[in-house]
């Protein structure tokens, strides 16, 4: 039985967490330390990924210049390209240049589109992907939590077990299997959403794509929230809230949910990677512009600077989002602060 949960303190409103009543200076120092720790960890992960990208393109067998130019290219052409990509320098100098490029956001010029810097092309593609993913996170969290509350409350009677079953079924179905089928049914047959590749899809296309992306997330959120709500279901502070005359809905939304928000945020954080992978698939499915399309295009045309920049940037985006999730978790739940 967990009495340390948030919500009204059971006995006369005595604050349970002694640390939050500590000195202001000590607290701000602790917060600064935590933020710095998070930043350092995020930077380390991004650097590790960037190093992996760097090494994969240089140490694996095969000449990158030949990969870019094709087998028919002459040795002179390859030498020129190697000079342009700095592949003729010693490894440590290339690495130093690469790391400096990461910091200054200057990762060289696109091989395929002379004049366009790799970083500019990536920044250009971030917008659509970011709006797709953030709308998906929002929809997924809202739908998932609403479904869990519906399943935990008394409104559906015996039928509330259906919430769990549906969530389990959706969570077990791969996005790759249901997204094309739903698109076929809704876009090609019923014509309620724009067809894939429709350049005038606009907001409807965005909402539909992020709705598809949100479905598996919502299923995971619903399952985890159901478990978390069950965990606090017998806590004393909920009984007190009921005894004071709160309705089921009020007790669930205002008392039980804040106490079980931790696992919900954690599951969103762990699903971010899958979300990013799903975004690539959906951008390919709907022929939407975005980071995924850019990465695929750069891979197909062997545009190495753009590929490096796009992969490192997506990794940074992912790590950043995860750290934000962890920070929100710490901000709303005093129990996880260390």
Partner 1 sequence: MSGLAGLAALRRGPSLRVLPLATVLGVATLVAAGARSPVRLEPELSWSAPSWAHPLGCGEGGVDLLALVAHASLRAVLLAVCVALVGFVIGCPLGAAAAVARGRLERAVARACDLVQAFPTFLLALVVLSAVRSPSRLDLGFVFALTAWAPFARLALAQTRVLRDQAFVEAARAIGVTPARVVVRHLVPNLLGIVAVQLGAAAAAVVVSEAALSFVGFGARDGVSLGVVLDQGVSAMLRAPHVLLVGAAAVFVTSVSLMAAGRAFDPTFARKARRN
What residues line the site for partner 1 (CB under 8 A)? 45, 49, 52-53, 56-57, 60, 62, 64, 67, 172-174, 176-178, 180-181, 183-184, 187-188, 195-196, 269-274, 276-277, 280-281, 284-285, 292, 295-296, 299-300, 302, 304, 307, 311, 314-315, 318, 322
Q: Of the candidates 114, 123, 111, which has an alpha carbon nearest to the alpha carbon of residue 298?
A: 111
- Minimum distance, C-beta of residue 13 to partner 1, in the bound complex (Å): 36
- Minimum distance, C-beta of residue 197 to partner 1, in the bound complex (Å): 10
Nearer to partner 1, 137 or 259 (CB): 137
Region label for 287, one of left (φ > 0), alpha (ψ between -120 and 50) or beta (otherwise): left
Nearer to partner 1, 39 or 56 (CB): 56
Nearer to partner 1, 149 or 291 (CB): 291
Contact predicate 92/326, CB 8 Å = no
Burial label for 232, CB within 10 Å (0-12, 13-18, 19+), is buried
Q: Of the candidates 175, 271, 276, 255, which has an alpha carbon nearest to the alpha carbon of residue 221?
A: 271
Nearer to partner 1, 238 or 275 (CB): 275
Nearer to partner 1, 67 or 249 (CB): 67
- Minimum distance, C-beta of residue 77 to partner 1, in the bound complex (Å): 18
Nearer to partner 1, 11 or 169 (CB): 169
Q: Of the candidates 40, 41, 43, which has an alpha carbon nearest to the alpha carbon of residue 99?
A: 43
Count other C-beta atoms under 10 Å from residue 146's C-beta: 15
DSSP 8-class letter at 255: I
Contact predicate 284/296, CB 8 Å = yes
- Minimum distance, C-beta of residue 115 to partner 1, in the bound complex (Å): 23
- Residue 160 CA to residue 166 CA, distance in Å, equals 10
Q: Of the candidates 205, 206, 199, which has an alpha carbon nearest to the alpha carbon of residue 130?
A: 206
Nearer to partner 1, 256 or 294 (CB): 294
Rounded-to-10 torsion of CA 86, 89, 90, 93: -60
Contacts of 325 (CB under 8 A, 6+ apart): 265, 266, 268, 269, 272
């Amino acid at each position: 039985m967990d009495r340390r949960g948030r919500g009204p303190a059971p006995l006369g409103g005595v604050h349970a967490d002694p640390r939050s009543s500590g000195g202001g200076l000590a607290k701000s120092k602790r917060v600064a330390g935590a933020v710095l720790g998070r930043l350092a960890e995020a930077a380390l992960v991004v650097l590790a990924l960037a190093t992996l990208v760097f090494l994969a393109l240089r140490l694996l067998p095969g000449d990158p210049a030949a990969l870019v130019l094709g087998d028919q290219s002459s040795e002179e052409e390859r030498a020129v390209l190697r000079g342009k990509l700095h592949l003729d320098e010693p490894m440590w100098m290339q690495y130093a240049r690469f790391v400096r490029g990461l910091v200054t956001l200057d990762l060289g010029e696109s091989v395929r589109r002379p004049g366009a810097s790799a970083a500019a092309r990536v920044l250009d593609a971030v917008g659509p992907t970011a709006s797709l993913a953030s709308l998906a996170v929002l929809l997924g969290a809202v739908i998932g939590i609403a479904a869990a509350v519906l399943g935990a409350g008394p409104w559906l009677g015996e039928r509330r077990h259906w919430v769990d079953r549906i969530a389990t079924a959706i969570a077990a179905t791969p996005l790759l299997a249901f997204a094309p089928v739903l698109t076929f049914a809704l876009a090609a047959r019923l014509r309620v959403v724009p067809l894939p590749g429709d350049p005038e899809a606009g907001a409807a296309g965005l909402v539909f794509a992020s709705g598809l992306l949100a479905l598996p997330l919502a299923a995971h959120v619903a399952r985890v929230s159901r478990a978390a709500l069950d965990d606090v279901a017998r806590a004393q502070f909920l009984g007190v809230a009921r005894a004071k005359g709160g309705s089921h809905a009020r007790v669930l939304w205002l008392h039980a949910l804040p106490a079980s928000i931790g696992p919900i945020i954690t599951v969103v954080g762990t699903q971010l990677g899958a979300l990013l992978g799903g975004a690539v698939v959906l951008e390919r499915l709907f022929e939407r512009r975005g980071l995924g399309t850019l990465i695929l295009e750069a891979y197909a045309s062997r545009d190495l600077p753009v590929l490096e920049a796009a992969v490192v940037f997506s990794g940074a985006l992912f790590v950043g989002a995860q750290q934000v999730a962890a920070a929100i978790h710490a901000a709303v739940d005093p129990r996880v602060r260390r």
